[in-house]
Amino acid sequence: MSTHTKTWVQRLPVPIDEAWDFFSQPGNLARITPPEMMLKAEGGNAGMAIYEGMKLNFVLYPFMMIPVRWTTEIMTVSKPDFFADRQLAGPYEHWYHRHLFRQIEGGTEMTDIVEYALPLDLFGEVVEALIVGRRLDEVFEFRRRKVAEILGAMPPEKE
């Protein structure tokens, strides 16, 4: 089992507390997930703000209309700077997602870091290389665009 890490960074023209309020509401996840994945929260806690130990249950269709049940747990909450979740049950052998928020001039920098591994050893690595890694990039690119529509976008940083 190889662990893969992907990182996505987005700059938002809102104060850190506003960015935190948006991302710490599990009900907003469906708004920023590609509609063809048909993400649906199960249970009644999607309308609550996250807290350590919170468990979230979802059904989604990430690939070829195959339903997947996914349970995550909020592991760490440090408002307004950081929260992390991990998969308890779902398609991955390992899934750990950190959400980092940093106040910057004119807004907030939000960073997603996902560490994941697939089951099935060599076969899982082939599936990761051909499908899963690319699909994660597509999902987070969709998320970036939707978040920019909802919260606004800042111009790219000059190098």
pLDDT in tens, the chain (159 residues): 699 999 999 999 999 999 999 999 999 999 999 999 899 988 877 778 999 999 999 999 877 788 999 999 999 999 999 999 999 999 999 999 999 999 999 999 999 999 999 898 776 677 788 888 899 999 999 999 999 999 999 887 766
CATH numbers and ranges of domains, the chain:
4-151 (3.30.530.20)
> What was the pLDDT predicted at 71?
96
For residue 104, report the phi and psi dihedrals to the nearest 5 degrees.
-130, 170
- 50-85 CB burial, b ≥16 within 10 A, e <16: beeebebbbebebeeeeeeebebebeebeebeebbb
Q: What is the DSSP letter of 36?
A: G
> What was the pLDDT predicted at 113?
98
| CB burial of residue 43 (10 Å; 0-12, 13-18, 19+) | exposed
The three-class DSSP label of residue 27 is helix
Please state the pTM of the whole predicted model: 0.91
